[in-house]
Amino acid sequence: MATIAVPLGGGQTTQEIEAVKRPALSEYLRWSVDHKIIGVQYGVTSLLFFIIGGALAMGIRLELWTPELDFMVSGAAYNSLFTMHGTIMIFLFIIPMWAAYGNFVVPLQLGAKDMAFPWLNAFAFWLIPPAGVVMLLGYFVSPAEAGWTSYPPLSTLFSGDGQTLWALGAHLLGLSSILGSINFIVTILNMRPPEMTIWRMPLLCWAVLATSIIAVMATPFLAGALTLLLLDRMTGTTFFDASGGGDVLLWQNIFWFYSHPAVYIMVLPGMGVLSEVLSIHSRKPVFGYRMVGLSSMAIAIVGFTVWAHHMFTSLQPELRIPFMITTMIIAVPTGIKMFSWLGTIWGGKIRFTSAMLFGLGFMSMFVIGGITGVMLAALPFDIHVHDTYFVVSHFHFVLFGGSVFAIYAALYHWFPKITGRMMDETLGRIHFVFTYLGFLITFFPMHIVGMLGMPRRVAVYDPAFTDFNRLISFAAFVLGFSTFIVLYNIVRSYFHGPIAGANPWRALTLEWATTSPPPPTNFHDDPIPYEDPYGYGTKAASAYIEAIDMAFDRREPAPSGAD
Amino acid sequence: MTTYIERTEKQKISDQRAAAIRLKNNRLGMNIFQVSWIMAFIALIVVNWQLRFNYSQWPPAGVPPFDLILPSVATLALLISSVLVVQALKVLRRGFPMAFLVKWRLAIGLGALFMAIIVYEFLNVSDAAMATQYGNTFRLMTGFHFVHALAILAIMCRVYQGAKLGKYSGDEHDSWAVEGAAKLWYFVTFAWMLFYLVLYWIR
């Protein structure tokens, strides 16, 4: 029989446990080296930018309600609208939001007292607010309007000073991302307890490890590209100007060498979250644990070989086929994950909690985004739908249907640990319904208008697409409204939610083997991980979970066999 | 319960073990930084590489190639400086702080010589070269490298000041600043070797 290892904390008195209070709200506004505070700082900052980026999206959909230019004063104003929407959502919402969960959860899952470099961690966070402000300051000069991809010559010859601020802000965010990722890699490789081999590590840690490897290897390329852009804009060099011997494709190559892997920076942590959430809320071990961990690494590696599929229409023809093949290959490790998730929930005791609903939502949406990704990898199809709404639909299915759904799943799942309070499940389910339907009806029809030929990044379109666009805009407003439900739920639950206890989901990973919220040093003593982080369904697992309950919540032992 | 009791009976991590973990973390963090940030230099090599294809020959027609002698002297100075840093670290570990200071000072001096030559080269790119990407990429790459070399040389000077005050013993746990600065200087050297080959030799 497996060893029943009991996490630490059991020796404490009830008074000691009750003494763990939530940090005062003012602590979140100050410099702190506590990874839990920094995690919340990342999270709240990202959420604020999510609201700004979401408001800009509503502006886009308002403009597209009619085929004419009516809501925005000019096409240029519309350009800056979608430019800032994309930039904010990618650089200031999704990427830092994963840093939020990574920061809060990863050291806890590893049983560590903090990240490897706490000061560096705080520094990496505090680069983000000024970077965001610098980017937004563009609105006071002339905002960036070359799209989030910032292709020259749009970003050199046809964009105002806001584009320079955009590049400076992106530079700071890149630095933050590199520093944060170095910290994650060192923490994950060096700070595990002796019992936790790399093959016993929670899958979120695997995902964050893979993400961080991508970030440290790819982000320096973004720094290189941005340096060239700044030089071209400010010092008169001609790296992107053909008249001076430069090359506009240079930007595309270097930018996408970062930005395609960045797509995986945005989704891999979500995949890690999904493995956690699906397993815990269906009380089943993760199906094919090793393959899931390794597939994260495979995605990270193969992700570096596909960047030129963004340039199918501008690339030398002889390079198209190789990039088409590598792009299709990346569907394999992604497919492994999808089948693992299906295998995980198959036959499980599924609890339809809000976290689980968003997890299932992720699966259904991401599979659509994945399939359209393979469609776009096919060269003849890609050339047909290049720069149309089909592409807009595809990447929203992976970035919203994927990343944002996973962010919501993670929120409902770890909110009790972060705040010590449960979120309201009824509101959570209402939020899910509005988000799921709002999202699906917003983005699915975009496939159709895209294939019919509606180009992306236009404020004025063929009136034949009006009905589709009205439907899309209406659903987008519903989707926008759904955000207020979760915001209300967060605030309400923070103050009035039921007390969560240490382990409300009866999970086996170490972040649940301490109080909610955890004390400043995370654990009162070195915790002992359970031998299999997802070994649900055994008596030993039930005993471990009961031991946590006994240690922290002083409950009576539950009837055995429940897990 | 057995494992719990066994485990709680063990003592908490001693200060010594914490220091060992700190050093291990610092070393791994530095290695990751080196591998990561070298990618920024590789990105600039890619820039140089791609822009070459816009010309039928490299250097472009009518542009004289860069002189090799001075930059090679600079490169040699940088290499010797890096070797001195290796030796300095060794003698510090063996407990010869005075020998460390001599070697470290010499390394800083050679590093400064390297940088002075590169500045001279940067300022003396011909107008013909500057009219093409041959000169543009040269200034981009040497300038980018210079900024890093300058910052890291400043760190080496700080370490020198600290060492003069006797801050670092031979023990590896309390001389991380020296080891870290040395590793950053190896980084500068390695990055320059890549640039040196691309800028001066690969045509």
Q: Residue B7: its pLDDT value, please?
A: 54
Which long-range contacts (C-beta less than 8 Å, at least 24 apart) are formed by B109-112?
B109/B81, B110/B77, B110/B78, B110/B80, B110/B81, B110/B84, B111/B77, B111/B78, B111/B81, B111/B149, B111/B153, B111/B156, B111/B185, B111/B188, B112/B153
Give the residue ranges of chain A where pLDDT is below 50. 1-5, 8-19, 559-562
To probe the interface with B, which of A115, A175, A237 has the most B CB atoms within 10 Å?
Answer: A237
Chain A residues 173-192 within an 8 A CB cutoff of chain B: 178, 181-183, 185-186, 189-191
Alpha carbon distance A419, A431 (integer Å)? 20
Within an 8 Å CB–CB cutoff, is residue A223 touching chain B? yes
B14 touches chain A (CB under 8 A): no
Q: Is residue A375 part of a domain?
A: yes
Of B25, B44, B47, the CB nearest to A186: B25
Query: Which CATH number belongs to the domain containing residue A179 in this structure?
Result: 1.20.210.10
Residue A22 lies in a domain: no
Q: What separation in angstroms does the CA of A77 have from each of A513, B141, B142?
A: 51, 36, 39
B21 touches chain A (CB under 8 A): yes
In angstroms, the separation between the Cα of residue B96 and the nearest Cα of chain A is 31
Distance in angstroms (rounded) separating the CA atoms of residues A176 and A120: 9
pLDDT at B172: 83
Res. B28: pLDDT tops 90: yes
User: B156's torsion region: left (phi>0), alpha (psi -120 to 50) or beta?
Assistant: alpha
The residues, any chain, with a CB within 8 Å of residue A427's CB and separated by 6 or more, are A485, A486, A488, A489, A492
pLDDT in tens, A219-261: 999 999 999 999 999 998 999 999 999 999 999 999 999 999 9
A548 in a domain, yes or no?
A: no
CB contact under 8 A, B40 and A223: yes
Q: Is residue A507 part of a domain?
A: no
Classify residue A558: in a domain, yes or no.
no
- Residue B88 predicted with pLDDT over 80: yes
Please calculate the CA angle A272-A368-A475 and round it to the nearest 5 degrees.
105
Interface contact B33-A117, CB threshold 8 A: no
The domains found in chain B, sorted by start residue, are 2-201 (1.20.120.80)
CB atoms closer than 10 angstroms to residue B123? 8
Question: Could you tell me if residue A412 is inside a domain?
Answer: yes
Residue with tokens 């439900």: A485
Whether A1 maps to a domain, the answer reads: no
Average the pLDDT over B120-148 and give the result: 96
- Please report the pLDDT score of residue B84 as a whole number: 98
The domain in which residue A464 lies consists of: 31-498
Give pLDDT tens digits for B142-192: 999 999 999 999 999 999 999 999 899 888 888 899 999 999 999 999 999
- Assigned domain for A376 exists: yes
CB contact under 8 A, B46 and A254: yes
**Residues from chain A contacting residue B31 (CB–CB below 8 Å):** none
pTM for this prediction: 0.93
Whether the predicted pLDDT of B83 surpasses 50: yes
A209 part of contact set with chain B, CB < 8 Å: no
Domain count, chain A: 1
Digit-coded pLDDT (tens) for A428-452: 999 999 999 999 999 999 999 999 9
- Residues in chain B with CB shorter than 8 Å from the CB of A218 are 39
**H or E element at residue A146:** none
